[in-house]
Structure 1
Amino acid sequence: MATRRIPRPAAVAVALCAAALLAACAGASAAGCRKHVAKVTEYGAVGDGKRLNTAAFAKAVADLSERARDGGAALVVPPGKWLTGPFNLTSHFTLYLDEGAEILASQDMKDWPLIAPLPSYGRGRDEPGPRYSNFIAGSNLTDVIITGKNGTINGQGQVWWDKYHAKELQFTRGYLLELLYSNNIIISNVTFVDSPSWNLHPTYCTNVTISGVTILAPVHSPNTDGIDPDSSSHVKIEDCYIVSGDDCIAVKSGWDEYGIKFNMPSQHIIIRRLTCISPTSAMIALGSEMSGGIRDVRAEDNIAINTESAVRVKSGVGRGGFVKDIFVRGLSLHTMKWVFWMTGNYGQHPDNSSDPNAMPEVTGINYSDVFAENVTMAGRMEGIPNDPYTGICISNVTARLAPDAKKLQWNCTDVKGVTYDVTPKPCPELGAEGKPCAFPEEELIIGPHELPKCTY
């Protein structure tokens, strides 16, 4: 029998206090060294939580952008509560949040201008047409760092959630951080709280490192995904702690015909040492917007607690695209509805219609070294009729059942694959005897070997 590679039991206890540990250790790595440094107070900002500082942040970034090519610049946000509307970043730039610093998003929707929809989505994700701006944004940037001593970026999303539930929004909610067409990004040692919708959304980006980040939202808040790499390449997500009302991480690449036309896959992605709590969603989702394709995703040594499912494939007729070469190993799962879940009937489409001939290709999905306890059901594996999900490999898995577990532990349709040393016994569609599943041996190099260690 192959040696199991299962996270140490002590990791569970560590996960339960991960937020506190991240805060305590935040000083270990801080902002990159920049030649020019300024505090937001130098531009007239007041940190009383009441005065609106949008103009001060905009002026600071504009001024510091002039120093970008002369050793770069850092904007320091000192302790205090800094209320502001949305603002943009610039290249060769560090946004540094000191200990006790909290940037508060304005709750007045008049401070959130409308912007164009993403070309790979064709419209806003919630509603047709344009969308509200993102809180912190940037496009065509290079060498951007968001870091500090575990300061907080607070989206104050309750007003947005309430209006969303009441169907009072005409346009799609903005995200807490969205960077477009950018490269060489580092986000570390920062806490993101109560986003109006998705939290971190690197889109059309390359070489992105997200490390030591805490993301918090009420578990029933709508669509508060943690980290969503979207049509992005070479993304590393590590040592993060996420409590979310939706998927903790969702890898995406555009929506239906717009994503097919834009044709930019998400690829070469590392997700490791993540701790996720999301009772109604996945630890890691692949899709559902995956029409530009998703490939070479490597998830390793991740923990989920009270989460609906682990690594879930989400697609459907009309999506097109592909999900392939997915490698997952070393999962520690505690109180799960499903250990394995694949969905081939995701039905949300941007124009309430889709091309019935745009069929997704899902193949080469590998899961190994999984320990799960208090599980309701081991596997719900649903491919697409006449377009089955193939090349599934599941090995070295133990799922201990909850007292109220389903009698039927595997429900499989339109899937094909092999298993090796899996308990409970898999469904016939995955019943062929395989061997331990693959995981790439070569290292995927993304971002700096070590995070920058200068402080301000």
Structure 2
Amino acid sequence: MATRRMMHAAAAVCAVALVLFAGHIGALPAGCRKHVKKVTDYGAVGDGKTSNTAAFAKAVAELSNCAGDGGAALVVPAGKWLTGPFNLTSHFTLFLDHGAEILASQTPKWRMFTDKYKLVNGKNGTINGQGQVWWDKFHAKELTYARGYLLELLYSDSIIISNVTFVDSPSWNLHPTYCTNVTISGVTILAPVNSPNTDGIDPDSSSHVKIEDCYIVSGDDCIAVKSGWDQYGIKFNMPSQHIVIKRLTCISPTSAMIALGSEMSGGIQDVRAEDSVAINTESGVRIKSGVGRGGFVKDVFVRGLSLHTMKWVFWMTGNYGQHPDNSSDRRALPDVTGINYSNVFAENVTMAGRMEGIPNDPYTGICMSNVMVHLAPDAKKLQWNCTDVKGVSSNVSPKPCPELGAAGKPCAFPEEELVIGPSILPQCSY
């Protein structure tokens, strides 16, 4: 009897939405949901003080029953909506209206999980991690558990995150893990530049990921591509691959615009970054690895960077020393090859390149072409520091180190476009 009542209740949720949108059924724009509810329908209060964890959980649980009937959207209206962690569901959109702000409760662990076939989007609403308390505890070494990420995507497919602002995450902001077909478009991510580990977007063991038109201010890497640590990543063997990054704007004085690694033991390949800007950022595209990592970083294509006030334009690190535990195999050496940089302009730069491979395991196949670096008044006298790397260059200034000084042709960039996600994002009015 209880089960039957639950089924009837679920049907009622969908029926209400059918009535509300009866004039549009069968003619919805692609990607839009058939059934729509507001979080206030489940008792939520947008005063910034009332806990709405139960309301969000109830809404998602009920609307999950609409997955097979056109999916559902949960609208968060203008207001401040305090909540603990909650999961999303399949065939589902979390829509933040203009003026809507989800506030993360300051409980020990906070993150939002997703499953598959869903969107997080809106009219530039905000998800606020209220991370200051966690940063303070981290600096004081008072934490006995990991800080939560703001949005965690696990084993998900066909994800769209667009037109949303993420603010003050306790740790990483967006973390797609073991995912495919992920589009992150028009997203703003903001954190103080001295906040610890507030990475912007970290695709992790994920394939076919498109990141475009995003603005990130961070205390760590704006984007960090990962695929697992040491023997655990090697054993799981799920690379991050087929990743497109376009029109990114990054500010991160102590980290990279785009980092590959250091957790790269499952492999990273076919990364294409172009037409992006970094301002007051430590480095451009940085490769981070080390002895014990294993795995590979290969077929990386970078072009059209505009860099302003940088410590290093090019940085490769073969001595990144962090490990998950003491059981790492020092015989596991990474394979780093096929790294291409072209059409790079940089100004107010301290040092053009710090290129460090691994002894007896050099980073190879590096190509640089059409690179112009203008130095800062306090620039280093030595502009290139290269060890255990091999490559070619063409039209690079200042003149690169001998290890990269062999004459080369303009560096490669794939001619065929890598198509990820819809060509036009859903235009839904909820």
**TMscore range, shorter length:** over 0.9
Question: Is 1:325 matched up with 2:299?
Answer: yes
Equivalences for residues 141-156 of structure 1 within 5 A: 141-156=115-130
Equivalences for residues 82-231 of structure 1 within 5 A: 82-109=81-108, 112=109, 134-138=110-114, 141-231=115-205
Moved over 4 A (4+): none
Q: 1:303 and 1:450 mapped to 2: Cα distance? A: 24
Q: 2:378 and 2:342 mapped to 1: Cα distance? A: 26
Q: 1:442 and 1:70 mapped to 2: Cα distance? A: 37
Listed one character per residue, the Cα deviations across residues 264-287 of structure 1 (whole Å, up to 9, x for unaligned) are 000000001000000000000000
8 A Cα contact 1:31 1:96, kept in partner: no
8 A Cα contact 2:149 2:174, kept in partner: yes
Q: Which of the residues 404, 413, 416 maps onto 2:390?
A: 416
How far residue 108 of structure 1 moved from its aligned partner, in angstroms, is 3.0
8 A Cα contact 1:31 1:147, kept in partner: no
Q: 2:87 and 2:170 mapped to 1: Cα distance? A: 17
Aligned residue number for residue 80 of structure 2: 81
Aligned letter for 1:102? Answer: E
Listed one character per residue, the Cα deviations across residues 25-71 of structure 1 (whole Å, up to 9, x for unaligned) are xxxxx994211100000000000000000000000000100111110
Q: 2:414 and 2:183 mapped to 1: Cα distance? A: 20
Aligned letter for 2:398? Answer: P
Q: 1:391 and 1:381 mapped to 2: Cα distance? A: 13
Question: Is 1:59 matched up with 2:35?
Answer: no
Q: 1:354 and 1:135 mapped to 2: Cα distance? A: 29
Q: 2:193 and 2:31 mapped to 1: Cα distance? A: 33
Aligned residue number for residue 223 of structure 2: 249
Aligned residue number for residue 71 of structure 2: 72
Question: Is 1:43 matched up with 2:42?
Answer: yes
Q: Which of the residues 283, 286, 307 maps onto 1:309?
A: 283
Equivalences for residues 233-248 of structure 1 within 5 A: 233-248=207-222
How far residue 170 of structure 1 moved from its aligned partner, in angstroms, is 1.0
Aligned letter for 2:273? Answer: A
8 A Cα contact 1:260 1:292, kept in partner: yes
Question: Is 1:451 matched up with 2:425?
Answer: yes
Aligned residue number for residue 18 of structure 1: none
Unpaired segments ≥5 residues, structure 1: 1-29, 113-133
8 A Cα contact 2:274 2:303, kept in partner: yes
Q: 2:164 and 2:244 mapped to 1: Cα distance? A: 20
How far residue 455 of structure 1 moved from its aligned partner, in angstroms, is 1.3
Aligned letter for 1:418? Answer: V
Q: 1:190 and 1:378 mapped to 2: Cα distance? A: 35
Listed one character per residue, the Cα deviations across residues 92-128 of structure 1 (whole Å, up to 9, x for unaligned) are 000000000000000132xx3xxxxxxxxxxxxxxxx
Question: Is 1:377 matched up with 2:376?
Answer: no
Higher relative contact order (CA 8 A, sep 6+): 1
SS of 2:32's partner is coil
Q: Which has the larger Rg? A: 2
SS of 1:327's partner is strand
8 A Cα contact 2:116 2:155, kept in partner: no
TM-score, reference length from structure 2 = 0.93
Output the aligned Cα RMSD.
1.0
8 A Cα contact 2:78 2:97, kept in partner: yes
Q: How many corresponding residue pairs? A: 402
Aligned letter for 2:52? Answer: N
How far residue 195 of structure 1 moved from its aligned partner, in angstroms, is 0.3
Aligned residue number for residue 13 of structure 2: none
TM-score, reference length from structure 1 = 0.87
SS of 1:149's partner is strand
Unpaired segments ≥5 residues, structure 2: 1-28
How far residue 135 of structure 1 moved from its aligned partner, in angstroms, is 1.5
Q: 1:57 and 1:135 mapped to 2: Cα distance? A: 13
Aligned letter for 2:53? Answer: T
